[in-house]
């Protein structure tokens, strides 16, 4: 037989394998991929007209473990000078003892009809000389009208010794390489490379003599297996990706390429297999698909560059924001949207930051394809490979042009309103005082007092509006507040509303803390003020209960009053978070309650009391742990 390894080494040039020797008549007539090497079906071994070919694979026929026939090549392999030294001897007598149990188990399975063919890598123990590694493939056979077993010995040691350089080259290949015998039952493996052993976790001893299907498992799909089987039966090349399993049971994606090797007469003698672990590629494609779905739907502009800053991907939001299509952007650098509004030092700082593996966050001005400037908040994240090397940069840009413009408009309006409103209030209040001093009629005096009261109300509204704006603009600076401070704040409301009965019940540890607790204090005060101011009773009643339901991570605050209650229509406007000319709340108080609690990550619920009045229920998260320094918590 010619060298398999020489074929592998030169397959790209020659594409054929020389297979010397003629096959015996029974073998020549059988299919190329079928039963064992020489069936000798129903042949009398004493018939002198039948001479097993000298150069054929060595094999024996045995029954109940006893050899009944051995061909000449088998006698040579066993270092036997006469058939009498082999015939009627136990076949296991020629096998190293450590393999007896495994081989006997295979014989039992085949005798019971549990398998069509089984192979095993063993050490043969010849009559003379040292043991040698052999692959034995066994299958049932009809012999003189009775069922027996044929074991064929496949010796690749001579080829391994003859081609050390090529073998080393195959073992050094980055993919697993296998060689299977196409002319033996079930195409047993004759050779597996080091990479195959490393990739699958199976030793050579466990793999040789087996059909490569032992890598398959429950999760292996039938379609690619059937495609591969059909190509093998048709002696055609094939490539499929299979879900295979390692020796430890872990799954991996295996890209298998099978190529038939033909002999001198054109018959298929072997199958050459290339096996590549493509699990990371599969995972990459899966994650890439998920990323693209999110990126395509993202409202913010996103682009990805390589290590040199060349754009490789932009999402639809980038196209909308910049006016550049993906085709125009890909292959360019982000200079495409550079506005010249930042100096060179800005970009030097950016580049040094991201190439050092750090995240960059900054606001800057870019320019669209049409030449318009727009402001963005940009975040650039370096992407590293498994070796810690930066391979890409991902940039996300939030358009803040409209936000900044809106804030600017609100700032101007707020400043003008505060100044003009305060000035107008002072003028109105001044004229009201003049009227009060110069009017005698009760009706006229009452009108002047009403004007003055309205002016005072407008001034308070102006101050509250300014307070609300400052409160929410600076809420990130607010510190954690414990419940004790909040209860003291509530008790101080007694002095502000002395005519009211404000009852507080606390059923929780007062060391409990709330982040940005000042917002909760303001919401509670607004709820108390709403309950007192809108209550016509001589002594408005406000009952406050603070509790922690079932030791949960939230605080529950119930504020009940006995007044007219909060109109449902007004509360619907608040919870809808939208006012219209026809549907609006009567003031800022309810809004401030809702905004304050919501900003804490909490919720507000309104319920009507059985008799009269309403109850506001706040649920706000509490601080479970606080960092006190050096990563410690308390």
Among candidate residues 119, 124, 65, the one with its CA nearest the CA of residue 95: 124
pLDDT for 435 beyond 70 = yes
Residues 517 and 425 in one domain: no
Looking up residue 142, the CATH number of its domain turns out to be 3.30.450.20
Residues 6+ apart with CB under 8 A from 563: 531, 534, 535, 536, 537, 540, 612, 613, 614
User: In 441-516, which ranges are continuous DSSP H helix?
Assistant: 442-473, 483-496
pLDDT category, 568, cuts 50, 70, 90? confident
**Tokens found for residue 218:** 């429950």
Phi, psi of 70, deg, nearest 5: -140, 130
Mind listing the pLDDT tens digit for each residue in 176-212?
889 999 888 889 998 888 889 999 999 988 999 899 9
How many angstroms separate the CA atoms of 612 and 601, rounded? 30
Domain boundary among 441, 473, 505: 473
Mind listing the pLDDT tens digit for each residue in 13-38?
222 222 223 333 333 333 322 233 33
Residue numbers of the domain that contains 390? 282-399
Largest CA distance in the chain: 151
CB atoms within 10 A of CB 567: 13
C-alpha distance from residue 458 to each of 35, 223, 421, 423, 432 (Å) = 102, 78, 8, 11, 14
Q: Return the CA Rg of the chain.
A: 44
What pLDDT was estimated at residue 402?
62
pLDDT category, 412, cuts 50, 70, 90? low
Which of 331-345, 401-415, 432-446 is predicted with the least confidence, judged by mean pLDDT? Answer: 401-415
Residues 355 and 342 in one domain: yes
How many angstroms separate the CA atoms of 239 and 257, rounded? 4
Q: Nearest 5 degrees, angle CA 119-CA 96-CA 112?
A: 40
Residues 247 and 319 in one domain: no
* Residue-wise DSSP of 391-455: EEEEEEEEE-HHHHHHHHHHHHHHHHHHHHHHHHHHHHHHHHHHHHHH--SHHHHHHHHHHHHHH
How many angstroms separate the CA atoms of 156 and 134, rounded? 7
**Tokens found for residue 231:** 């190509």
Question: Rounded to 5, what percent of the chain is helix, strand, coil?
Answer: 40, 25, 35
**Between 582 and 182, where is the model more confident?**
182
Domain boundary among 382, 399, 416: 399
Residues 415 and 395 in one domain: no
Residues 38 and 115 in one domain: yes
Residues 242 and 301 in one domain: no
**Between 290 and 409, where is the model more confident?**
290
Asked if 166 and 6 touch (Cβ cutoff 8 Å), the reply is yes
pLDDT for 52 beyond 60 = no
Asked if 134 and 122 touch (Cβ cutoff 8 Å), the reply is yes
How many angstroms separate the CA atoms of 38 and 59, rounded? 8
Residues 80 and 174 in one domain: yes
Residues 381 and 233 in one domain: no
Residues 6+ apart with CB under 8 A from 594: 574, 575, 577, 604
Residues 409 and 419 in one domain: yes
What pLDDT was estimated at residue 4?
42
**Strands 501-507, 541-547: parallel, antiparallel or unpaired by DSSP?**
parallel
Domain boundary among 277, 311, 326: 277
Counting every residue written for the chain, the total comes to 634
Q: Nearest 5 degrees, angle CA 181-CA 187-CA 189?
A: 65
pLDDT for 348 beyond 70 = yes
User: In 497-581, which ranges are continuous DSSP H helix?
Assistant: 517-533, 568-576
What pLDDT was estimated at residue 156?
59
Phi, psi of 121, deg, nearest 5: -85, 120
Residues 492 and 514 in one domain: yes
Looking up residue 529, the CATH number of its domain turns out to be 3.30.565.10
Residues 112 and 244 in one domain: yes
Residues 370 and 327 in one domain: yes
pLDDT for 616 beyond 60 = yes
Domain count, the chain: 4
pLDDT category, 250, cuts 50, 70, 90? very high
Residue with tokens 């080091």: 194
* Helices (H) then strands (E): counts for the chain: 19, 24
Asked if 634 and 628 touch (Cβ cutoff 8 Å), the reply is yes
Residues 6+ apart with CB under 8 A from 606: 566, 568, 571, 614, 615, 616, 617
């Amino acid at each position: 037989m010619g060298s398999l390894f020489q074929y592998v080494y030169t397959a790209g040039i020659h594409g054929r394998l020389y297979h010397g020797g003629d096959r015996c008549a029974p073998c020549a007539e059988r299919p190329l991929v079928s039963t064992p090497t020489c069936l000798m079906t129903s042949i009398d071994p004493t018939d002198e007209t039948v001479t097993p070919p000298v150069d054929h694979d060595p094999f024996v026929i045995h029954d109940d473990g006893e050899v009944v026939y051995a061909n000449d090549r088998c006698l040579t392999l066993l270092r036997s000078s006469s058939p009498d030294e082999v015939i009627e001897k136990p076949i296991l007598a020629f096998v190293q003892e450590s393999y007896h149990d495994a081989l006997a188990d295979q014989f039992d399975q085949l005798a019971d009809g549990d398998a069509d063919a089984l192979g095993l890598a063993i050490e043969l123990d010849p009559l003379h000389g040292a043991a040698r590694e052999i692959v034995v493939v066994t299958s049932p056979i009809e012999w003189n009208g009775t069922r027996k077993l044929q074991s064929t010995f496949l010796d690749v040691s001579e080829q391994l010794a003859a081609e050390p350089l090529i073998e080393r080259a195959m073992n050094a290949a980055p993919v697993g390489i296998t060689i299977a015998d196409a002319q033996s039952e079930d195409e047993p493996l004759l050779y597996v490379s080091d990479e195959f052993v490393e990739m699958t976790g199976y030793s050579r001893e466990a793999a040789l003599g087996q059909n490569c299907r032992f890598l398959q498992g429950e999760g292996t799909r039938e379609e690619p297996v059937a495609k591969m089987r059909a190509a093998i039966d048709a002696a055609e090349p094939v490539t499929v990706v299979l879900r295979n399993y390692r020796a430890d049971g872990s799954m991996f994606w295996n890209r298998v390429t099978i190529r038939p090797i033909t002999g001198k007469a054109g018959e298929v003698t072997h199958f050459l297999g290339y096996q590549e672990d493509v699990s990371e590629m599969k995972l990459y494609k899966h994650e890439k698909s998920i990323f693209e779905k999110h990126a395509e739907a993202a409202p913010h502009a996103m682009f990805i560059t390589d290590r040199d800053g060349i754009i490789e991907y932009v999402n639809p939001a980038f196209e909308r924001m910049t006016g550049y299509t993906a085709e125009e952007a890909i292959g360019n650098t982000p200079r495409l949207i550079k506005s010249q509004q930042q100096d060179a030092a800005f970009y030097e700082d950016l580049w040094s930051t991201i190439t050092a593996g750090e995240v960059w966050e900054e606001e800057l001005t870019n320019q669209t394809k049409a030449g318009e400037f727009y402001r963005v908040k940009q975040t650039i994240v370096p992407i590293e490979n498994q070796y810690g090397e930066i391979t890409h940069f991902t940039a996300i840009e939030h358009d803040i042009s409209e936000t900044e413009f809106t804030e600017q408009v609100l700032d101007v309006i707020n400043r003008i309103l505060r100044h003009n409103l305060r000035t107008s209030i002072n003028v109105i209040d001044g004229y009201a005082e003049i009227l009060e001093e110069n009017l005698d009629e009760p009706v006229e005096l009452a009108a002047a007092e009403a004007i003055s009261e309205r002016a005072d109300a407008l001034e308070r509204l102006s101050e509250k509006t300014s307070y609300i704006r400052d409160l929410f603009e600076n809420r990130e600076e607010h510190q954690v507040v414990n419940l004790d401070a909040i209860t003291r704040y509530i008790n101080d409301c007694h002095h502000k509303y002395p005519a009211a009965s404000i009852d507080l019940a606390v059923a929780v540890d007062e060391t409990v803390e709330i982040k940005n607790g000042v917002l909760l204090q303001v919401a509670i005060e607004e709820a108390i003020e709403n309950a007192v101011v809108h209550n016509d009773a001589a002594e408005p009643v406000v009952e406050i209960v603070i509790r922690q339901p079932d030791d949960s991570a939230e605080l529950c605050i119930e504020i009940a009053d006995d007044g007219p209650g909060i109109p449902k229509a007004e509360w619907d406007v608040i919870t809808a978070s939208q006012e219209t000319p026809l549907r609006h709340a009567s003031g800022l108080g309810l809004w401030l309650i809702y905004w304050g609690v919501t900003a804490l990550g909490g919720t507000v619920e309104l319920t009507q009391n059985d008799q009269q009045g309403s109850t506001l229920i706040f649920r706000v998260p509490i601080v479970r742990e606080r960092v006190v320094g050096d990563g410690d918590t308390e």
